[in-house]
Structure 1
Amino acid sequence: MVIGVIWVLLAATLLGFYALPSKYTENYAIENTWAGFWFLAMFLVPILATLGLVDGLFDTYRQVPNNLFIIIFLFSLLWGVGNLLWGISISKIGMALGFSLLIGVSTLVGSILPFFMGGIEKLSSKGGLVILLGIFIIMLGIMANGKAGLLREKNESKNQEFTNETSNNKMRNGIILCIVGGFSAAGFNLAYHVADNLAHIGSISQDQFNNASWIARLAVMLPAFIGSGICILIYFSIQLTKNKTWTHFSNKGSVKNIFLLLIMSIVYCASLIIYGLGAYELGPLGTTVGFAIFQTGCIMVANILGYFTGEWKNAGKQSKNWLIRGLAIMTVGIVVIAYGNALI
């Protein structure tokens, strides 16, 4: 269990850092940067890694019922929609509220639903109840984190008033999109749960073809990458065509940009594969316990990184105090969830 928690926290740390190279791309519109990244992260990197490392890949997939592949694909499409709505919603309601809402909803849905997909009998056990308590504590921490973010934005934008009807509608629509995006983003964990716990892709890959557990995670996650990637790239293809920015891919410095995006993609994919390994090590409720820790860890890493890079410099004392409270509460929640998993 301890090894599983360590893997998941490492995955969360990597995911907290993956976007850093995007700050150094040049002569690209935002849609060039993210279209390039998603193509590499959802297709090129996982496909090459899986084909190159996984033995018996197609023989493994042949043993999976078609209806389960369809379910995995549908959940992966939801994941893609969630990724898109995340970017759209924060442009309407701001990073702090948007991040907290989306991650909060995604954590709640993605952690609770796996109980009802093969683990319902564990829900009423002592360990299951402790895990639910830990998830509730984490949600309180996320709410405190959101409070800190709202106070920070208020402190940094004292001269901006959002009182007119247009701004109110923008905020309302942004919150709706964020909540829908949170439900959709949970599709990643649900796709993984179906692929590993119901379709048994990981165990087939390990037991029949002697793949290491981390290599078997590639086989488990590849279908989810494909579905999400299709959804995301359709959107960005429309944006590139609409803004006439396809030609930016040939701008000066494009080779350096693609190299930076490749680094981002490798780190991003590695974080998800390592999460899968951690969830596997955590046992029958790994997708419940692991996802809650993974999402919480991402929030904590992102905020700590932002704090030490000056993002909270002008946030004000009250905002910083709420940030510390939120991080402390989420830490307690992680400990409680880990303890609950040990009781299963």
Structure 2
Amino acid sequence: MLLAFFWVLLAAIMLGFYAFPSKYVKGYGVENLWGSFWLFAMIIVPVLASFILVNGLGETFAQVPSSVFVGIFFLSMLWGIGNLLWGISISKIGMALGFSLLIGVATLVGSMLPFFMGNLDQLNTTAGRVIVLGIFIIMGGIVLNGKAGLLREANADTASDTSSSKHMKTGIIMCIVGGICAAGFNLSYHVADTIGQIGRISQEQFGNEPWIARLAVMLPSFIGSGVVTVLYFAYKLNQSKSWHKFASPSSRKNILLIVVMALVYVASLLIYGLGAYSLGALGTSVGFAVFQTGCIMIANILGLFSGEWTNAGKRSKYFLYSGLLVMTLGITVIAYGNFISY
């Protein structure tokens, strides 16, 4: 079990770092950078990796009811929409509040719904109730973290008018809806692995290692999300007439950096899948809560070291440290609940 938690936390750390190479991409617009990234991360890398590494991929999928794939595709499209809504909303409400809201809502929805998709009986056990308690403790920590972000942004810009207030409300609504949609990632994984049994078929019938079988489990989810995000950025590239930037002198280096980002991003999700699988029946509830919490903790710790909170003020830092402490407590409670469930 400890190894499973290690995989989930490692995945959170990797996801927290995946965008770092984007700082060195030159000569690309936002549409060029993120359009290319989503193309590689959601379609090219997972498709190539699946066909190269997974034995019996087609034969595995042939045994899964078509209704399961419909569910996976729908939920994964929601995941893609959630990513897009979050990207738009942070321009209205700021990174700190946007990140906390998105992950908070996605954690609640993505962790709790699996209980109602085949594990509802776990709510009648001590372990199940402890895990749910841990999830709500984490939610409390995320709320504190969001408050810290609001205070930090208030210190950075005290100006306020009707227009900015309207933008804030719109951004918050978009971010909450985006958080609900973003939970489609975990729910599509749950449908593929727990209901569709794709991982079990891939391992037992075709001898794939658990981490390789996660590719088979996640491939349909990547495709669904990829369709949404790639089409959106293709539209934005046409709108801004930015296609010519792919011919810039630095394009070869840029594409290499974007491929590295995509590899780290895909690897982080696969490692999360391995951790969730190793955590047992409640892995998609336990693992997702730890995974999302780990992401927000890593993002804020990196922010502390990079100086983002230097001028945040004492109250803001108090809420930040309190939030991190409460989230750590929540992870501990979840780990204990999963331990006594064995």
Q: TM-score, normalised by structure 2?
A: 0.99
Displacement of 1:45: 0.7
AA in 1 matched with 2:73? F
Displacement of 1:218: 0.4
- Count of aligned positions: 341
Displacement of 1:185: 0.1
AA in 2 matched with 1:181? G
Measured against aligned partners, the alpha-carbon deviations of 1:254-294 in whole angstroms (never above 9, x if no partner) come to: 00000100010000000000000000000000000000000
Displacement of 1:56: 0.4
AA in 2 matched with 1:209? F
CA distance in 1 between counterparts of 2:212 and 2:232 reads 31
Instruction: Give the match for residue 337 of structure 1.
Output: 334
1:286 to 258, 283, 286: 283
Which deviates more from structure 2 when the two are superposed, residues 311-320 or residues 287-296?
311-320
Measured against aligned partners, the alpha-carbon deviations of 1:280-329 in whole angstroms (never above 9, x if no partner) come to: 00000000000000000000001101111111122122212211111111
Instruction: Give the match for residue 253 of structure 1.
Output: 250
Instruction: Give the match for residue 300 of structure 1.
Output: 297
The secondary structure found in structure 2 opposite 1:123 is: helix
2:205 to 201, 204, 208: 208
CA distance in 1 between counterparts of 2:121 and 2:340 reads 14
1:52-131 to 2 correspondences below 5 Å? 52-131=52-131
AA in 2 matched with 1:248? K
Instruction: Give the match for residue 321 of structure 1.
Output: 318
1:129-148 to 2 correspondences below 5 Å? 129-148=129-148
| Residues 1:222 and 2:214 aligned together | no
| Residues 1:183 and 2:209 aligned together | no
Instruction: Give the match for residue 236 of structure 2.
Output: 239
Which deviates more from structure 2 when the two are superposed, residues 309-318 or residues 182-191?
309-318
AA in 2 matched with 1:176? I
Displacement of 1:243: 0.3
Displacement of 1:167: 2.0
Instruction: Give the match for residue 42 of structure 1.
Output: 42
Structure 1 gap ranges (5+): none
CA distance in 2 between counterparts of 1:214 and 1:54 reads 10
AA in 1 matched with 2:287? G
The secondary structure found in structure 1 opposite 2:124 is: coil
Q: Post-superposition, which runs of at least 4 consecutive aligned residues in structure 1 deviate over 4 A?
A: none
CA distance in 1 between counterparts of 2:317 and 2:11 reads 26
Measured against aligned partners, the alpha-carbon deviations of 1:52-79 in whole angstroms (never above 9, x if no partner) come to: 1000000000000000000000000000
CA distance in 2 between counterparts of 1:233 and 1:260 reads 18
Instruction: Give the match for residue 263 of structure 2.
Output: 266
Instruction: Give the match for residue 169 of structure 1.
Output: 166
The secondary structure found in structure 1 opposite 2:326 is: helix
AA in 2 matched with 1:277? L
Identity of aligned residues (%): 62
CA distance in 2 between counterparts of 1:32 and 1:198 reads 37
AA in 2 matched with 1:163? D
Instruction: Give the match for residue 17 of structure 1.
Output: 17
The secondary structure found in structure 2 opposite 1:42 is: helix
Measured against aligned partners, the alpha-carbon deviations of 1:220-261 in whole angstroms (never above 9, x if no partner) come to: 000000000000011101100000001111111000000100
CA RMSD of aligned residues (A): 0.8
Q: TM-score, normalised by structure 1?
A: 0.98
CA distance in 1 between counterparts of 2:149 and 2:236 reads 30
CA distance in 2 between counterparts of 1:189 and 1:292 reads 10
CA distance in 2 between counterparts of 1:319 and 1:167 reads 21
